[in-house]
A and B are shown apart, each in its own frame.
Chain A
C-alpha cells in the first residue's frame, strides 16, 4: 500500500509488475509502478513526441 503522489489516495499493490501503468482509482492520474517491495509509484512518464509504434 502506498499513496498517489497527486491526491494522496491509498493505492494498493496487486498483480502489477514494475513498469506497469495504471490510473489512480481516486483522481485518475496515470501512475507507474516503480517498485514492488516496498510497493512504490510515481506519475507515469508523459507521452513524448517520438512515442509510438
Chain B
C-alpha cells in the first residue's frame, strides 16, 4: 500500500499490544505516525500534516479524551471516537447508558458526598463494591461487607486529592464463579473472548488473574455487541459476569489491552484492530 495513507498511533508507552499493532501495520504496508501523548501539542488551526486516522492507545483516560477531541476538531477520525472514550471511560455514565439500552448490568447507586455514600451502600446491600468512577486495572476498588468497613473506605476515599474520589459509585456484589468473562469487540464482530479466573474477587488479568479461551456463545456475542453499541461502538473490551440470572455486563473498556486475550486464544487482535482503523480512515 503506497498511496500515502498514514495511520497515527497515539500512545503513552509501547507495550506488547502496541508492538503488535506496529507489526500488523507494517505487514499491511501501512505507514505509521507515532504520536507520543506526552510530547504532542494541539493548536486551534489544523496542522498541515496529519494522519488519515488515529488509533488511540494512550493509557491515560484524560489525555485520550482531549486528544480525540482535538483530532476530531481537525477532521481526523479516531478509534475510538471521542464520545465513546469519554463515556466508556466513566463507570457512572457507562452504567446509566447500559441500563438505558436494556443491557443487563449490576445494580448501581451513585452518591455525591461521603455522607450520602453510606446510604448508597446500605441501599445496595452487603457485600457491596465501591469503584472509582474513572480508573482501571482493579485499582482502588473495595468490597465492603459491613457498615464499619464501608465507613472506613468512604473516609479514605474522601481524603484523596482528586474530587472524582468524592463521587461514590457503589455496585452490588454479584455472586459468581471464581471467574468473569472478557469479550473483545472490533466493529460489528466479537473477535475473541476469555475467562479470567482468580481466587481473589477481582479477576483483572492486570492483577494476575489466570486466563483461558471462552466459547463465543450466542448469549455472549449478543450481549457484548449490544453493550458495545450502547456506548457508541468501536474497539471495546466488554467485561461480563455470570450472575445467577445470566450474564451481566459490568464494564466496557475503550482502550483495551489484549496481550492475555491474544495469547490464550491465538486470535490476531492487532491485525483486526488495524484493519478496522484503516477501514475508518479510508471512508
Contacts and interface: CB of A to CB of B under 8 A. Distances in A.
A32 B15 CA distance: 11
Contacts of B136: 51-53
A34 to B, nearest CB: 10
Interface residues of B, number: 27
Contact of B162 (A17, A44, A49, A53): A49
Given A53-B136, A53-B137, A53-B255, A19 B13 contact: yes
Given A19-B18, A20-B14, A50 B34 contact: no
Interface of B: 11-15, 18-19, 22, 34, 36, 38, 59-62, 134-137, 139, 162, 237, 253-257
Interface of A: 17-21, 32-33, 44-45, 48-53
29 contacts: A17-B14, A17-B19, A18-B14, A18-B34, A19-B11, A19-B18, A19-B34, A19-B36, A20-B14, A20-B15, A21-B13, A21-B14, A32-B13, A33-B14, A45-B13, A45-B38, A50-B134, A50-B135, A51-B136, A52-B61, A52-B135, A52-B137, A52-B253, A52-B255, A53-B137, A53-B237, A53-B253, A53-B254, A53-B255
